[in-house]
Chain A
Amino acid sequence: MISILAEQIGKSYQHIHALENVSFQVGKGELFGFIGPDGSGKTTLFRILTTLIVPDSGSVTVENLDVLKEYKKLRTMLGYMPGKFSLYPDLTVEENLEFYASIFDTTIQENYHLIRDIYVQIEPFKNRLAGKLSGGMKQKLALSCAMIHKPTVLVLDEPTTGVDAVSRVEFWEMLKKLKSEGVTIVVSTPYMEEAGLCDRVALMQFGKIMKIAPPQQVIDEYRRNLFSVKAENTYKLIEDLQRFPETGSAFPFGQSVHFTPKSPAFFPQMLIDFLLQNDHQNPDVHSIEPGIEDCFMELMTESPDAGDLSKI
């Protein structure tokens, strides 16, 4: 059962290719994530899905409705949360929710069960102006407003960007609940670790999809040998790794550096010896499983567009 079917979407703004040949399907009731940095084309894509802009080429249907020809009917079935906070800052929390309910000819009471878990957390502040809410609370209100007309498909553009780690965890818990109600959810995020919470993810860069797969499969298909390297002076460690002849890539990850060797013949003792020769105390090198971020970076460095400004 397909909810969204996108084929060969292209969209350019003057000389910038925002989207190139983007094709994908989202199943009914699926939680589908678009993972990519700012400028990778996620917002453009979401605006096309929600009938707000028209693609230059390609076709898109959502719930079997064409985004160009049947946009009026489709809009009643869509819930959309834009990346930028777009509720009325000079209306209260409750007034915003009432407004969005009335636009879709419904009431808060009628669909309260859908938003209850989220809304109870901001209900104590229902008389506060929306513009005066904290970041996490704004996101909860925006999600409530996007859900109040019981949409079949929910499109969320970076709902957790700039939101602190606690509110982010809570937000994803809410999405899981909505998914269990049968809502199809398309969500984008620049936080790689959130990919693991989706059924499937599309990794995007430079207006293209680099890969679509369930998160575990993305990890299983990582082709390099990955090592965690630790030493007391991380700055010197990174500098020295740049000079190590076997270094394929070396990226800091929290308190360690993730290292991939150039050749399969590499073994950890080679690097330990090198680090000892370069005055590092107690260096530690051991093999680790990659995370989504390692996979994303592997795909990025293999992309022919990497570092090419004219492509962006």
Chain B
Amino acid sequence: MNNSTPIIRVRNLVKKFGDFVANDHLTFDVFSGEIFGFLGANGAGKTTAIRILCGLSKPTSGEISVAGFNIYNQTEQIKRSIGYMSQKFSLYEDLTIAENIRFYGGIYGLKRKEIKTQTAILLEKLGMNDYRDQLIRDLPLGWRQKLAFSVAIFHNPKIVFLDEPTSGVDPITRRQFWNLIYEAAHNGITVFVTTHYMDEAEYCDRISMMVDGQIVALDSPGKLIQTYNAANMNEVFLKLARSSLTEVKA
């Protein structure tokens, strides 16, 4: 991790929907090659922020750059520099494994020859060579998610955004999935990830905690656990998210 280069730079990001403030002056940096956990309760404003960082939605105000590009007028360059996957949408169910890889490779402008060699390497690595012609819909969820992640970084993006990538996945596959994340980060890809599994939060280099549209804490898991005098990230999460609930009620 190179602490000197922010690959994502966010200053006073505000996003309003009518009177509702979904993102309330978010300010943070994500550094090149780090695994950055973006945590928060349901409805805290995580998805809104991710959509903005991916160039899919415009903020109401704020200064934001992603991979060195401006979020207001360089969204096409941003889209080419990032990868994205979520549990809800990742691969085309009615295409095969090989077809999905070819499709995404093509979308990101890779050459046919490059796609062919890279596909062979990828299938070998994932142990899916014998299943290259299987439709995605026939694959178990864990396989899909591992493949979806590999496809999301197939074009070697600078940053990959993962929105709850492991929801509902079995415990062993979940860990294999994190091995892929570690490997990608090790190879210099910045990982921006959300999760509801608090043990996974502890795999991140740094974590931001969002509550009601604001970032209320940002540090390494070890430091957060220390600061909030907790046994693990689950307790940190409960303390932070709960305290905000009592404030609202009072």
Binding site for B on A (CB under 8 A): 36-40, 134-136, 158, 161-167, 169, 190-192, 205, 234-235, 238, 251-255, 293, 296-297, 300-301, 309, 312
Contact = CB atoms under 8 A, between A and B. Distances in A.
**DSSP class of A's interface residues: helix, strand, loop or mixed?**
mixed
30 contacts: A37-B142, A37-B168, A37-B173, A38-B168, A39-B141, A136-B41, A161-B168, A162-B167, A162-B196, A164-B237, A165-B237, A166-B41, A166-B241, A190-B167, A190-B168, A190-B169, A190-B170, A191-B197, A205-B170, A238-B179, A251-B171, A252-B178, A254-B198, A254-B199, A254-B202, A296-B171, A300-B171, A300-B172, A309-B139, A312-B140
Interface in B163-189: 164, 167-173, 175, 178-179, 182-183, 185-186
Contacts of B41: 136, 164-167
A164 B170 contact: no
Contact of B141 (A37, A253, A293, A309): A37
Contact of A135 (B43, B173, B199): B43
A22 to B, nearest CB: 18
Given A166-B241, A234-B203, 8 more contacts: A37-B142, A161-B168, A164-B237, A165-B41, A190-B168, A251-B171, A255-B202, A255-B222
Interface in B36-70: 40-44
B42 A165 contact: no
B233 interface: yes
B242 interface: yes
A255 B221 contact: yes
Give the residue among A205, A300, A301 with the most B Cβ atoms within 10 A.
Answer: A300
B167 A161 contact: yes
Contacts of A163: 42, 196
Interface of B (DSSP majority class): helix
Nearest to B235: A165
Interface string B154-168: 000000000010011
Interface centre among A134, A167, A252, by most chain B C-beta atoms within 10 angstroms, is A252
B172 A251 contact: yes
> B173, B196, B237 — which one has the most chain A CB atoms within 10 A of its CB?
B196
Given A134-B42, A190-B168, A301-B172, A38 B186 contact: no
A208 to B, nearest CB: 14
B222 to A, nearest CB: 7
A186 B102 CA distance: 44
A169 B232 CA distance: 16
Nearest to A257: B175
Nearest to A312: B140
A67 B237 CA distance: 42
B199 A253 contact: yes
A72 to B, nearest CB: 33
A2 to B, nearest CB: 30
B140 to A, nearest CB: 4
B89 interface: no
Q: Which 4 pairs of residues, A with B, have the shortest CB-CB distance?
A: A37-B170, A254-B202, A134-B43, A135-B42
A235 B182 contact: yes
B196 A165 contact: yes
A235 B180 CA distance: 10
Given A37-B142, A251-B175, A254-B232, A162 B241 contact: no
A251 B141 CA distance: 20
Interface in B87-138: 131, 134
A309 B131 contact: yes
A300 B42 contact: no
Contacts of A205: 170
B175 A162 contact: no
B217 interface: no
Contact of B164 (A162, A191, A254, A293): A162
A38 B171 contact: no
Nearest to B182: A235
Contacts of B175: 251-252
B234 interface: yes
Contacts of B131: 309
A297 B44 CA distance: 32
Contacts of B216: none
B134 to A, nearest CB: 8
Given A162-B196, A309-B131, A38 B42 contact: no
Contacts of B198: 165, 254
Nearest to A158: B168
Interface string B183-213: 1011000000000111100110000000000
